[in-house]
Amino acid sequence: MAAYEKKTTAGQHNGLPAPVQAPQPAATYPRTRLRRTRSSEWLRDICAENRLSTDDLIYPLFITEGTNVNQPVASMPGISRQSIDLTLEDIKASLDLGIKAFALFPVVAPEKKSPNGEESYNPDNLICQALQTIKRAVPDAGLIADVALDPYTTHGHDGLLENGEILNEETVEILCRQALIQAQAGADVIAPSDMMDGRIAQIRDTLETRGCKNTLILSYAAKYASAFYGPFRDAVGSGDILQGDKKTYQMNPANSDEALREVALDIAEGADMIMVKPGMPYLDIIRRVKDRFALPTFAYQVSGEYAMLHAAAQNGWLNYESCMLESLLAFKRAGCDAILTYAAKDAARTLS
């Protein structure tokens, strides 16, 4: 027998004791009445398997140029593009509601967009100014900075485009520069949402070697080529300019096993946390990721999901508040540790 070969005997699995299966009770009515634990509010609360709190909420914010600028996003009721000063006030109000983390997305002026997205690594760009201003004013606010080129490119893609192809290695080089200036400007978490292969490892190495070793990476590891992103692209101004689609780098909605491969690679490359995007249509992916890797797992309740809730509520077809809270609780039940949601303030007001 080889030196390291293990015997497998009855009751063992790979040399270890087999898991003990708990005996299943013979539950029969009327001795067992499952309605008993639902009969009053305090019983329902004490028996609840999952809970939603403001600690679970991450509030996405759209930041635009100027001062005292508030531009409502028509396809996202209650959401606006705001200048840095108003964004800061919004964050302060959200902190008072118990929201502690914020994801920042820039609305880049058309004249600052280019085919190669050079503005993305300008250390004085809009997002860096916002990070510096907010971190100085409210140092306890958790700031998450998006890393991708689509707000900065004239073609609307998350990477460099050449002859109809998104270039991987060349894009990753720019993403590293973008991530570094954001970390240096005050981002607590760098969130690559581009879906280029190998970018987590190179961003991690860049941060480690340039004095940002404590900056976390939240990887959009399982980001699908979804039809639910439309209102977001309206908000950041990339929807009308997008050339083609993003199916050569974002994931096929038909695939589940592939998501686990993406997540495994990003964890091996140094990701601290994992994102699944969109949220509600991909609860099965969230559950598989959490069960397999037991890493902090987030979901993004994307703009289309948010807009649908509001549209139905405005037509009187459902109750917005009840359905919004139910949808967020579904993310917790699926295994989420946190949820990016445009309904964060609505949820926080209700929960408090």
Q: Facing residues of 80 across strands?
A: 72
223 is catalytic: yes
Q: Active site residue: 277, 290, 332, 345, which one? A: 277
Return the CA Rg of the chain.
23
Q: How far apart are CA 182 and CA 176, in angstroms?
A: 10
User: For residue 346, which of 4, 132, 94 has the smallest C-alpha distance?
Assistant: 94
Q: How far apart are the first and last CA of the chain?
A: 64
Q: Report which of 107, 116, 145 is spatially closest to residue 238, judged by C-alpha positions.
A: 107
Catalytic one of 100, 113, 135, 223: 223
135 is catalytic: no
What sign has the CA pseudo-torsion 251, 252, 253, 256?
Answer: negative
Q: What is the largest CA-CA distance in the chain?
A: 77
Torsion of CA 327, 328, 330, 334, to 10 degrees: 140
Catalytic residue positions, numbered:
223, 277
